[in-house]
Amino acid sequence: MTSEEWDDYVRAHDTKDGLTETWKEIHDEARMLHAAWATEKWQRPQERERRRKLAQGLRELRMGRYADLQARAMLLHAQALVDEIFAAMKEEAAQS
């Protein structure tokens, strides 16, 4: 998935449940990669440096995706808070 595709994917989530599901998917992918990694390590011990570079790249990608999801979740929370404040202000204005 390219960076642009990932950004579009994250923006498509407009609920906390959608973000939670994506978070779980990333976690599951990480577990599968770890299992494949362990197998590769035992089968090809001589390619340690290549695996180290690949692991670093995958870790950076995953952490970037987690950061994107966290930012989106914070925006959703902020929007809900603003809506709540606005509704309270409208209610207060209506009572005056």
* Structure token pair of residue 66: 């987690």
**pTM given for the model:** 0.46
Task: List the alpha helices (DSSP H) in the chain.
Answer: 3-11, 16-43, 48-95
Q: How many domains in the chain?
A: 1
Round to whole Å and give the CA distance between 75 and 29.
25
* One-letter amino acid for residue 63 of the chain: M
Structural domain that includes position 26: 3-95
* Rounded Cα distance, 63 and 69, in Å: 10
Note the pLDDT of residue 11.
66
Q: How far apart are CA 7 and CA 11, in angstroms?
A: 6
In this structure, of 26-30, 44-48, 68-72, 78-82, the range with the lowest mean pLDDT score is 78-82
